[in-house]
Amino acid sequence: MTEKEQTSLEAGPEQVLYANILRKGMFFGLVILFITFAIYIFGIMNPYIPLDKISDYWTMNVHDYLQHTNIKDGWGWVGMLGYGEFVNFIGIALLSGVTIICYIAIVPVLFKNDDKIFGILAVLEVIILTLAASGILAVGH
Amino acid sequence: MGKNGRWWLIGILCLVGFAVLVCPVFAAEAPHTAEAGADAHVWWYWPVVLFFVTLVMGVLAVLAGVGGGVLFVPIISGFFPFHLDFVRGTGLLVALAGALAAGPGLLKANLASLRLAIPVAIIASACAIVGAMIGLALPTNIVQICLGGTIIGICVLMLTAKKSEFPDVPKADKLSSILRIYGVYREESTGKVIDWKVHRTPLGLVLFIMIGVMAGMFGLGAGWANVPVLNLLMGAPLKISVATSKFLLSITDTSAAWIYVNKGCVIPMMVVPSLVGIMLGSFIGVPLLKIAKPTVVRWLVICMLAFAGTKALLKGLGI
């Protein structure tokens, strides 16, 4: 096998960087999610909705659920981190946010390698995902 | 009992558990309290059932070669008391977690191609946002009808779609050449080094508009649609298509998941048991792959999906 073939068989530097951040972010997010869920169900932190009342709400559509429970949508959960169920959102946000971090990390590598088109595409993806995460795009029933 | 026998026993137990827990006749026999609100069961009943059902789903998904998300939404929305809004939000997070877990390994093995995924992901993730917004704005019964139709369509696709290990791509198209979407990987079964390139990229990107919208609207992972487009239409080798599709889900589902999270469609009591169930199911499913008959499992999954799709359709129509 030639040296060129050997090199191209391996993932590029931006791909390896992306994979490394993704792996760490995914593990970290999952561990946080499982720990916070244990805190929630074992009652270490008090829940906002009592555990025996949850089943009253998950049959409702999300609009009615928010209205009946007086929970704020968007990033409103950050202000409710003192409650058992809302600490779980830290792990959920980490899992949902790790891809944005991966993209941000590869942008400099792409531009450094003079891969301008992909650098711009990566920046565009960061904008799209950040817009989704921002909560600006609110819709509902 | 031999190792194979043990795995079969686990599989059978899971299936029996699935049948018993989902069947409403048995469910009615479960312990209950008068104070448990509108639902007659104790508060932990449905999360526990959800865990076991998603565990079976995880096993079946691995054996049938489908994503957990595509099984999760129709089955859980059809047979559980949860509202479709929460099922879609949870379904996206389940599909996302699976894709995040698989992504690093696939990228490092150079089977998932970042160069193939990045342009496709921009279209799919932007359209998944639009799909999620449409799905949350439409009345539930309309979404349910569309979901039922889509699931039945997926069954037809699973029955009819062919796969091509190494599609013939005579010449890369202009767009993929400009974007340098090509690569090399080693086929472990033969030891051969495979050069690959793609064609019909503009048409492929157009189809990802539709795939993104559907993924966001129904909270389904979109592997069932990604793979045929990447493999059959654009001509990427099957392994590259499957791996890139799985990785792609981590981006598409991220955008849609944020819309659902921000809308409030996430209840941790549904999300975590489902995540753990699907992941454990996948771990059990991988060793079972050696002894299971893929055709039988595939038919089982198609039948389950057809049943769940029909139920969603009827539910949406109020029948």
Closest residue in chain B to residue A8, using alpha carbons only: B184
Chains A, B: CB contacts under 8 A, how many?
A: 203
Rounded to whole angstroms, the Cα distance separating B221 from B150 reads 13
Query: Taking a contact as any Cβ pair under 8 Å apart, which residues of chain A between 20 and 39 contact chain B?
Result: 20, 22-23, 25-26, 29-30, 33-34, 37
- Determine the residue among A3, A22, A65, A101 to mutate to test chain B binding: the one whose Cβ has the most chain B Cβ atoms within 10 Å: A22
Q: In chain A, which among 92-111 make CB contacts under 8 A with chain B?
A: 92-93, 95-100, 106
Burial B215-246 (b: 16+ CB within 10 A, else e): bbbbbbbbbbbbbbbbbbbbbbbbbbbbbbbb
Q: What is the pLDDT of residues A35-51, one digit of tens each?
A: 999 999 999 999 999 99
pLDDT per position in chain B (319 positions), as tens? 455 555 554 555 555 455 544 544 344 444 433 344 456 788 899 999 999 999 999 888 888 777 788 889 999 998 899 999 999 999 999 999 989 988 999 999 999 999 999 999 999 999 999 999 999 999 999 999 999 999 999 999 888 878 788 899 999 999 999 999 999 988 888 888 999 999 999 999 999 999 999 999 999 878 888 999 999 999 999 999 999 999 999 999 999 999 999 999 999 999 999 999 998 888 888 778 777 776 787 888 889 889 999 989 998 898 8
- Contacts of A62 by beta carbon, 8 Å cutoff, 6+ apart: A140, A141, B83, B85, B86, B136, B263, B264, B265
ipTM: 0.93
User: How far is the C-alpha of B85 from the C-alpha of B264, rounded, in Å?
Assistant: 9
How many residues does the structure list for chain A? 141
CA distance A73 to B285: 37
